[in-house]
Amino acid sequence: MPNVTCIQSFSSGDGMAYESGVEYDVPAAILKANPDYFKQSGTAENKMEDTAEDKSADEATEESTEEVTEAAE
């Protein structure tokens, strides 16, 4: 379930009351039915951080591979 922040207090059809400014794990069906009441929090930023970490690990692997190749020659 996506982690979202409620931007306007309301009650959904399933009897759940959401308060403005509070973060919730909301089912996608509720988000799709009520897009004006929620905003997603921090998803893109977290993905970018993970990508940067993966690249640095790949560079270290490439450098060690080059050193082994040079030593073999």
CATH number, position 15: 3.40.5
Q: What is the predicted pLDDT for the residue at 19?
A: 94
Q: What is the predicted pLDDT for the residue at 59?
A: 57
pLDDT band, very low/low/confident/very high, at 49 (cuts 50, 70, 90): low
- Are residue 49 and residue 24 in the same domain, yes or no? no
Q: What is the mean pLDDT of residues 29-57?
A: 70
In the chain, the largest separation of any two C-alpha atoms, in whole Å, equals 71
Q: What is the mean pLDDT of residues 22-36?
A: 90
Structure tokens belonging to residue 23: 């973060």
Domain boundaries, position 50 = 43-73
Q: What is the predicted pLDDT for the residue at 21?
A: 93
Q: Model pTM?
A: 0.50
- Are residue 34 and residue 54 in the same domain, yes or no? no
